Amino acid sequence: MPERGLKNLEAENHGLDKKLFAYLNKSIAATPYYQLLNIELRSLAPGSAEFQVIGGALHTNPMGLVHGGLITSIADAAMGNAVRSLSVKGVSVDISVALPATARLGETIIARGKVLKSGNNLLFAEALVHAGERLVGHGKATFYKLADIKL
C-alpha cells in the first residue's frame, strides 16, 4: 500500500451530530479505495464534505501530471460523503467531472462537495476541486437514496 501522504489528519466537525460524525469518520478512514489513493477527510458539515490528497508519483499519468481519475475520485468522495452527512446511504447513478486545469506532483488537492438538492429518492451534489488557487475539477453527480443511516 502506498505511503500515506498526510499522516494523522484530524477531521473537523462543523455541526454534525457527534454520533453521525464519529460513524462517518470511522467508515471513511476504513474505506480501502480511499486508503489506496491516500484520500483523507478534512471536514464534515450538514450537506457538505471536504477531502484532500497530496498528488504523489503513483497518481500521475504518462505526462507526469496528476491523473484525472484521481480528481474524479476525490470529487466523488466529497459529493458522496456530503450526501452521507445528511444521514443518507446513497449511491452515485450519474457523475461528470470537468477538468479545467491540471494538478502537479506534490500539490495538495482539496475537494469541497455539497448537496444542492435533496428529494425523496434523488440527491444532487457538486464538488469543486482545487490545487492551490487553480480549479482542477468541477464535479456534478446524482445520487440514489438507498436508505437512511440509522445509529
Q: What nine digits make up the cell of 27?
A: 467508515
- 50-56-61-62 Cα dihedral, nearest 10 degrees: 170
Q: Residue 9 has what pLDDT? A: 76
- Taking the CA atoms of 144, 14, 116 and 99 in sequence, report the sign of the dihedral they define: negative
Q: Residue 47 has what pLDDT? A: 99
Q: What is the CA angle 53-38-56, rounded to 5?
A: 65
Q: Residue 8 has what pLDDT? A: 58
d(Cα 22, Cα 95) in Å, to the nearest integer? 27
Q: Which amino acid is at 73?
A: S
Q: Which CATH architecture has domain 12-148?
A: Roll (3.10)
Q: Residue 2 has what pLDDT? A: 40
Mean pLDDT by 10 residues, the chain (151 residues): 53 97 96 97 98 97 97 99 98 98 98 98 99 98 98 92
Q: Residue 114 has what pLDDT? A: 99
